[in-house]
A and B are shown apart, each in its own frame.
Chain A
Amino acid sequence: MSAWGRSVGWSAALAAVLALVVVASAAIGPIRIPPAEVVKAVLNALVVPAGIETTSHGIGPLTLPSVDLAYRSPFAFPVDRVHQQIVVGVRLPRILMAALVGFALAAAGTVMQGFFRNPMADPSIIGVSSGAAAGAVAFIVFPVALSTKLALPVVGAVDVGVSHGAGVSLFAFVGALAAAFGVYAIATRHGRTPVATLLLAGVAIQTFLGAVISYLQLQAGESLRRIVAWLMGHLSGAAWSDVAVTAVVVPPLFAVLLVYARDLNVMLLGEEEAQGLGIAVERTKRILLAASALITAAGVAFAGVIGFVGLIVPHMLRLVVGPDHRVLLPSAALAGGSFLVAADTVARAGSTELPVGIVTAAVGAPFFVYLLVTREVHEL
């Protein structure tokens, strides 16, 4: 079977697993809801475009026609209203956020491991996680008002602003990209970015940002608890608006990575050999770096630093589906989604909720040790 054929097969299977995990997770909680009811509640919440409605309304002296899409709900299963509210309003945004973040981190981890030709690489290696943490912590310690009044013609003055939580995410996102770009700029000379230099520049930036974060924690005072919670990784605050933003950002970036999956295979042979096989190496590296930095930033901006998903999930899947990135990348991403949904379910299922980062690290570290002592580490 061709590689893309295998890819579709594995993706379909792992997407089915992800759907099952999502449903199971939505059923679990302080109030247990039967899985069948979960499915019905989710289907009830689906809407499809039903037509176009034209209405007229006046703004000031003018009467403007406005065109709206009308939606209708194709399903109307009888579901307990409280259950419906718990599944759709409370659990589902968090679960979908977990799926998207796990998907993003595992995809970025897969690409970084291939990029650095090192099975021990993960998305934080180019400073993205440290940058996100520094940005988020800085905003928590020194919150700035991110709202302003914009004077728009016709419509008049409008408040444009983001909430505190969205401000943290925004700063995390910007910090992540700034750190990644810094690492890239340090490592690039004369249009070439040697991977070894990139790795060392990543270590340097991570160390430096670690110092910044520690200092900010000293200055934090009362907000220290929130900083610690953010740094441990959390999905508890996820709202539908966060999910919507992440769902818009992650899939196109993943598509970019997937387009370069075969190039990534060839890059595993070494850069010179990849060049000899017709890969525009430096350009490909820039695209892969940018797309992985963005997809990682999108993941950690909302969820904080969640370790080990980007390390162990690609590794496990490589053992199962093989090293071909055309198959591995979508498989690892979907499995990463399932893994983080499961881990977050464990995190919130106990009597006291744990930050999900603790769960992933608690599962991930033993697995990492297992990898170290078995044959999987050929060379570093």
Chain B
Amino acid sequence: MTAESSVVDDSEPSTVDEPESRSAVDDETPPIEVSDLSVSFGDVPVVSGVDFRVERGSLTGLVGPNGAGKTTVLRAIKGTLSPDAGEVQLDGDPTDSLSAREAGRRVASVPQETSLAFDFRVRQIVEMGRTPHLGRFDGHGPDDERAVREAIEAAGVARFADRAITEVSGGERQRVLLARALAQETPSLLLDEPTASLDVNHAVRTLELVRDLVDDGRAALAAIHDLDMAARYCDRIVLLANGGVRAVGPPAEVLTADALRDAFDAEAFVGESPATGTPTVTAFDGTAGKDPPNPRRVHVVGSGRPAGRAVARLAAAGHAVSVGVVPEGDAAAGVAADADARAVTAPPFAAVPPERRDEAVALAREADVTVAVGKAGRAGDELGSNKAVLDASDRIVRVDDTVRDDDLLDAVRESDEADASGR
């Protein structure tokens, strides 16, 4: 017990009556702070050196591959497992100095699943959320009833509040658990895969609700598998991989193709969703490109969605891609921008300006291989410049509009091998 925390205790003699009052706690103190956390199960280290904080008004996403330790970190914050090293602070106090009851007033958690062998009503389950606020013999006061009513409304469980918990569906059950956590009325919220068993509508509604709560000044930490959802709703992302924090920051900074390749061992293309303007992640099977990845300079000739698809897949596989000449606003140009690939564009429905054509020719010349998608450079290609670009290329791989990803990657790799054996 430090001198500081005893001062807090003295200044708040009646915390029982005012669970929400934290006047003695500095507003700058983060509701959740994880410092140098290490946890192992027996001899197997799960996470080590995990460091991050969740601020008021922030929804932080905890993402990472299966087994990265997301749930372990959440459990350490809840205080249900004790770390081997490091500590977790809730509102400035280490979790191991807090009683279960006090911790239950500071952080509420929504687990992935709950097992209940007995037929409690949904409303009774939500009422249990008030437990940390009640004395042993207290009945529910007006405050408790209000909190339960609001939680039931907010989580959208009012329709089945009087049914038995064993009779509601998995998705409904998850919302009941959310309602219970809301009834707890804590400054911090932990969510473990809150949308895992929800349909799209309820997944979005759940995260919108969490977003609203956070905007009202709470802090939330959510382990989320769906990277698009994480990018869309979280202010910050903590990317866990290989037993530690791989990156922390805003979604657009953390969710990059490189970071995702390292963390998930998957080839990913990160674009920008036209619907939400937030990053959207498309993952490809990381084993399709086969090892070694052997990155090349690849120039793509063609336009429209087929060329865009080729650019995305080649970029995800780690190749340095350029594309051109394509019309401005073409799908391939958009993909190239997301993939940080160079795109040479020209105004649509007009002759390609010579300087643009020369630019594309230069890119093709410096490329290891040029991929011609569909009818690019052949009879019927409306872009006359494509022929000139292809003429400048050393090696050309021709693929159909409908080429499969594997075949595209194989063709690019084999072009090189065929060439090597030819020499």
Which residues of A line the B interface, CB within 8 A?
Answer: 2-4, 114, 117-119, 259, 262, 265-266, 268-270, 272-273, 275-281, 318, 322-324, 378-379
Which of A4, A118, A277, A324 meets B120, CB within 8 Å?
A324
Assuming A262-B131, A269-B128, is B117 touching A278 (CB within 8 A)? Answer: no
Known: A262-B131, A275-B78, A378-B166. A280 touches B114 (CB 8 A): no
Residue contact A279 to B100, C-beta cutoff 8 Å: yes
Chain B residues whose CB sits within 8 angstroms of the CB of A117 once the complex forms: 115-118
A-B CB contact pairs (8 Å), 11 listed: A3-B139, A119-B118, A265-B128, A275-B80, A276-B78, A276-B107, A280-B99, A318-B119, A322-B119, A323-B120, A378-B166
Known: A2-B140, A265-B128, A324-B124. A276 touches B109 (CB 8 A): yes
CB distance from A7 to the nearest CB of B (A): 11
- A-B complex: 9 closest residue pairs judged by Cβ atoms: A278-B104, A278-B132, A323-B118, A278-B101, A277-B131, A272-B80, A280-B100, A2-B139, A117-B117
Interchain CB contact under 8 A, B100 and A281: yes
Chain B residues packing against A (C-beta within 8 Å): 75, 78-80, 99-105, 107-109, 111, 114-121, 124-125, 128-129, 131-132, 134, 136-137, 139-140, 166, 184
Q: How far is the CA of A168 from the CA of B289 in the complex (A)?
A: 78
Q: How far is the CA of A324 from the CA of B107 in the complex (A)?
A: 25
What DSSP secondary structure best describes chain A's contact surface? loop
Query: Which A residues touch B105, using CB under 8 A?
Result: 278
Q: How far is the CA of A275 from the CA of B108 in the complex (A)?
A: 10
CA distance A117 to B184 in the complex (A): 23
Query: Distance in Å from the Cβ of A190 to the closest Cβ of chain B?
Result: 10
Residues of B within 8 A of A281 (CB): 100
Residues of B within 8 A of A378 (CB): 117, 166
Q: A266-B128, A278-B105, A379-B117 are in contact. Are A272 and B184 (CB under 8 A)?
A: no
The number of A-B residue pairs with CB atoms under 8 Å apart is: 88
Contacts A2-B140, A4-B139, A259-B136; is A276 near B104 (CB within 8 Å)? Answer: yes
Given A2-B140, A4-B139, A259-B136, A279 and B118 touching (CB < 8 A)?
Answer: no
Which residues on the A side are within 8 Å of B80 (C-beta)? 272, 275-276
- Which residues of A are found within 8 Å of B118, using beta-carbon distances? 114, 117, 119, 268, 318, 323
Q: Report how far A1 CA is from B129 CA in the complex, Å.
A: 19
CB distance from B111 to the nearest CB of A (A): 6
**Residues of A with C-beta under 8 A to B103:** 276, 278
A268 engages B139 (CB within 8 Å): no
CB distance from B176 to the nearest CB of A (A): 11
Chain A residue nearest in CB terms to B124: A324
Task: Report Cα–Cα, A72/B79, bound state, in Å.
Answer: 60
C-alpha spacing A278/B111, complex, angstroms = 15
Shortest Cβ distance from B307 into chain A, in angstroms?
Answer: 51
Q: Are A272 and B117 in contact (CB under 8 A)?
A: no
